[in-house]
Structure 1
């Protein structure tokens, strides 16, 4: 009765901790199909048991006590456990082998009553074990869902603020470009202008990071060779690593390609590698790996927000100081850092998370304090397509923007690049210019204008059957996922604040 009571109590267990106890002369050991848990009282090393456990799993085909006979591996198992007799009972749940229960007796053997009880007990134990796994998976799923909802809310707030900042920064950049082109600056003034430009560039990158948080960019159609990408990235990383920290690269043969913004992905992986380096107080190692990965029914619970299919997994692993459990839930929050303020660098994990999400991917982090951290970045696999090239010519541009200062600045910059510019302030004026048969080779139109929006104007142009390329300008990044550019007759989307050199390059490519 005492044995029955203690065995029954053991069913209330956590499957991710050791399942073991001693009852008088008995020793119990549970082995799951993917992990092994040993009684602390059994003085042995897991490596010594591996060949025994592998063989046991191979012969566990039926719901009965396994009879290993005089197998030498069985004798070794008894010797390692310190028991004279050991029963090996497979655990099944809905015909699936989930693990094995080993019951060892230090003195004597097991009678039929004990054997029958243990077989019956194992059936209940299998159910309890499976229930424990299901509860853990449920809790993990809920935690990921809550984290995802928190990031969505933060992203919307940040995007709204960044949208207003982008217009201000566009004016600053336009003014700086005109100052440099129109005036000869004294050395002291030139240095001040350079400082303003440097700070503005930093502000623009931060603003774009918040604007694009969790949303794809127009560069997402670029096909990226993972091998070439990581080879190039590794050259930069190695130069920044001190000699006492080794940096290894491991890329799977025939690695898939992916689609995305190579600049953003470069920043993300570089940032993770730098963080890994900085987590190592003295000597250590960082490993950058890339491998093909498939999400299917068997592992879908681990990736609740990703569709099944082929992915590329880029991982960065270090043996540094690790991340505490308390901080692990905060590392993707904006501005959270365990570093000193003066040592903070890179784009931050908050923006990194948003970039990967924008690429329809996912980041997972596992870490143990004093042992190290592993970041896994999952990106959808794709097939490379050839890029189209277009002839560069000088044309007439119709420019529509309700922000007068920005409109005038942009027009002046375009004219300085030998384009003719017709300026208008709203969608009605665009239609008026076109119906007056004034020729335009390209329309650049802002979406957020009073009255008729940029997109509504583009649709009216389509109804009137005008045929020329159109660039939609906006401070919001959601259009790249909600719009079919070809159906809407939109050649490209540009985001505020503008990089005028990039804008000119895009215009030349289009017309």
Structure 2
């Protein structure tokens, strides 16, 4: 319509020709998908096409023509006044974004392009404007920017956790050695124990960072979320205190999902603790489960959702709630609204990471002074529940006399592991990278009973090293060590059935037990 109007401004038509051209212009305006309208210089609608009517949520031209745009269309009346002022100055406006509201009150973002025109029939001048609804595009862009930000912070968090795990490995390991060699009545014992406690807290933080960055190791099994909630309930009641009521509403026919039961417990614990902190004067926490189907309708708001059947877990509180700005940042690591010393800001980011890594989604809905609901959606599966397996019985970390080839590029970690193994009676050959390990293996006279190798090293990876070594030493058992993140390990091909793995930082007792366990199991 704008093109035709521009043409008619410069060419004089008479009679039937003018009528034909006007008719064609109207037909084109009716056919396009963008809104097109003509208005007075005061903003009053003079003519609208069907796309604009639909955009605003009305059913007829008369409905829209009767609107006062300043009051009924523009969210900010001042924005409309500024726009009209620009047009009166004769400016042509291109791709100006404004906020409108539909008939139902929902806001939309609209991009306007147009200009003021005049004709012999309309001496006062009119505006001819194309309006494009870009609401969905802006939502997608915001989601993409948020995903990019979370991914970037996740990569940073994963890298920091990797480096910290190597440092903590040394701190915790040698602290463990010191505690084994002194008695409790020694004056230095409580000081060394304090170092150990600080290292343990730091280890927890690195695991939370790995959880947020979706790069921790998960033991995925088919689980019953109802059973997990019931098991957690007896632990949660004393945690939340007597002034908070805990209620559960669990679906009797709840489907199964594939997840790490221990991590789902961590998610529930974090969300319940958050809910408790939001209700210092008491209130109510409700845990609910249900079978749901996420449909394409939800994708209009969250484009990344995969439609299908899900298990829903929700945790609702009656606390003080959150404003929109806080809600937009709650899953960022180290973001907290709690007082200094009352929280690390990693609780909700841990929830986010665990659920995303499990293939699910987590959403928060909150109103100030009304409370908050966190809804978690985990993909539903048809398989039956797998046994979770009990923790292995505690056994003494006995030693042995086997020959172990230790490959670790971090010298301090390598020294700690070597000393631990030698103290248990093992003969240790050591190398700082894969090529050196293969040279040592080829020149060694006698069997190599076990290869202990870091997963990610400069040059040859631990996976490639194990393949080459086992080709010439088929009886060699393999134990992988890593403080690295799960996706790096998966990319290196480590997590296969039958693969044994120990994640840093681990205690020296854990190392000794794992080495013995691998050597014994392989001999069966």
Shorter-chain TM-score: what band?
0.5 to 0.7
Alignment pair present for 1:426 and 2:459: no
Q: TM-score, normalised by structure 2?
A: 0.66
1:365 and 2:364 aligned: yes
Counterpart-to-counterpart distance in 2, 1:300 and 1:312 = 18
SS in 2 for 1:285: strand
Instruction: Tell me, in whole angstroms, the C-alpha distance in 1 between the residues paired with 2:475 and 2:57.
Output: 67
The Cα shift of 1:501 comes to 4.0
**Residue aligning to 1:52:** none
Out of 473, 482, 489, the position equivalent to 1:474 is 482
SS of 2:374's partner is strand
Matched, 1:441 2:449: yes
After the TM superposition, which residues 51-62 of structure 1 pair with which residues of structure 2 at under 5 Å, given as runs? none
2:188 aligned counterpart, secondary structure: helix
Corresponding residue number in structure 1 for 2:199? 200
Contact preservation (8 Å) 1:211, 1:475: no
Counterpart CA distance in 1 for 2:154 and 2:447 is 42
Q: How far off is 1:270 after superposition?
A: 1.0
**TM-aligned CA deviation for residue 202 of structure 1:** 0.8
- The question of 1:329 aligning with 2:337 is answered no
Deviation string, structure 1 residues 171-196 (Cα, Å, up to 9, x no partner): 11110111122333544311111111
- Check if 1:398 corresponds to 2:419: no
**2: distance between equivalents of 1:456 and 1:306?**
37
Aligned to 1:408: 415
Change beyond 3 A, Cα 1:331–1:419? same
- Please name the residue that 2:501 is paired with: 493
Aligned to 2:14: none
Give the whole-Å Cα distance in 2 for the aligned partners of 1:317 and 1:421.
55
Q: What secondary structure does 1:220 align onto?
A: coil
Q: Distance in 2 between matches of 1:241 and 1:386?
A: 29
Q: C-alpha offsets along residues 71-90 of structure 1, whole Å, 9 cap, x if unaligned?
A: xxxxxxxxxxxxxxxxxxxx
What is the CA–CA distance in structure 1 between the aligned matches of 2:54 and 2:380, rounded to whole Å?
Answer: 43
Q: Say if 2:147 is the partner of 1:148.
A: yes
Q: Structure 1's 285 and 171: CA in aligned 2 closer, same or farther, altered over 3 A? A: same
Say which of 463, 469, 479 aligns to 1:461. Answer: 469
Whole-Å separation in 2 of the counterparts to 1:7 and 1:500:
80
Correspondence list, 1:67-466, <5 A? 136-184=135-183, 186-344=185-343, 347-382=346-381, 383=383, 384-385=385-386, 396-417=403-424, 419-435=426-442, 436=444, 438-461=446-469, 463-464=471-472, 466=474
3-state SS of 2:254 partner: coil
**SS where residue 218 of structure 1 aligns?**
coil
Q: Secondary structure at the match of 2:463?
A: helix
In the TM superposition, what is the alpha-carbon distance from 1:308 to its structure 2 partner? 4.0
Q: Distance in 1 between matches of 2:376 and 2:494?
A: 29
Name the CA shift for 1:242/1:269 in 2 (closer, same or farther; >3 Å): same
Residue 445 of structure 1, CA deviation: 0.4
Instruction: Note if contact 1:471-1:490 (Cα within 8 Å) is conserved in structure 2.
Output: no
Following TM superposition, by how much is the alpha carbon of 1:248 offset from its aligned partner in structure 2, in angstroms?
0.6
Deviation per residue, 1:353-379 (Å, 9 max, x gap): 222222222211111111111111222
Q: State the 1:417 CA deviation.
A: 4.8
Higher mean Cα deviation, 227-236 or 341-350? 341-350
The 3 A distance-change label for structure 1 pair 330 and 172 is: same
- The alpha-carbon distance between structure 1 residues 176 and 299, as it changes in their structure 2 partners (threshold 3 A), is same
* Structure 1 counterpart SS, 2:341: helix
Over the residues paired in the alignment, what is the CA RMSD in angstroms? 3.8
Is this contact kept in 2: 1:469–1:490, CA < 8 A? no
Helix, strand or coil at the partner of 1:336: coil
CA separation in 2, counterparts of 1:426 and 1:214?
A: 27
Contact persistence 2:182–2:189 (CA under 8 A): no
Instruction: Tell me what 2:124 maps to.
Output: none
TM-score when normalising by structure 1: 0.67
The verdict on how the C-alpha distance between 1:212 and 1:278 changes in structure 2, with shifts beyond 3 A counting, is closer
In structure 2, what is the equivalent of residue 111 of structure 1?
none
Give yes or no for contact 2:335–2:346 (8 Å, CA) kept in 1: no
Instruction: Tell me how far apart the structure 2 counterparts of residues 188 and 7 of structure 1 sit (CA, whole Å).
Output: 89
Deviation, 1:291, is 2.0
